[in-house]
Amino acid sequence: MTTRPLRAIPSPCVNVCMLHADSDLCIGCKRTVEEIGRWTSYSEEERQRIMDELPQRTHDID
């Protein structure tokens, strides 16, 4: 049996933890509170999907 090597996707946290009042996204990493809390339980695919969405979210809180 062959196993797929883990491709770790690190947390995008930058230690600036404050929620934007209008969007409820973290000002530092642009994730929701739910995404932050569940990050370690998400699959690599779910983490990658979130990472792919983060650049657009920057526009949502500027």
Distance CA 46, CA 60 (A): 21
Cα–Cα dist 54/37, whole Å:
16
- Looking at residue 1, what is its pLDDT? 55
pLDDT of residue 43: 94
Give the whole-angstrom CA distance, residue 39 versus residue 30: 13
Tens place of pLDDT per residue across the chain (62 aa):
555 555 688 999 999 999 999 989 999 999 999 999 999 999 999 999 999 999 999 877 76
Residue spans per domain, the chain: 12-62
